[in-house]
Amino acid sequence: MLGIIGGVNQFQLELLREKTREGLDPARARGKFGGRPIKLNAAQVEMANKLRSDGKSVAAVASLLNVSPPKGITDKSLRILCRCYRFFSS
């Protein structure tokens, strides 16, 4: 009995994944992305990169740009600051 219920549940999960994918793929084709919106524009990202290359800390750059620094990360890279990694990947 439990095997049948488990099988039905697995089938429902597969249907849910399929329907989610059917909605996400066209949205990505239209240029829509999920998640939190990017807080920095391209000019701010460029300024942040310049400040980091000049030796400013991540916390100092974040403070200048009025964003929160990433918690517990002391990496020299600024690419994870406020989800602006999309700018760095291009």
**In the chain, what are the domain boundaries?**
1-32, 42-89
pTM of the model: 0.45
Q: 25-37 pLDDT, tens per residue? A: 888 888 877 777 7
Q: 15-69 pLDDT, tens per residue? A: 999 999 998 888 888 887 777 777 788 888 888 888 888 988 877 888 888 887 7
Hey, what long-range contacts does 36-42 have (CB within 8 A, 24 or more apart)?
A: 36/83, 37/83, 38/82, 38/83, 38/84, 38/86, 38/87, 39/67, 39/82, 39/83, 39/84, 40/65, 40/67, 40/81, 40/82, 40/84, 40/87, 42/87
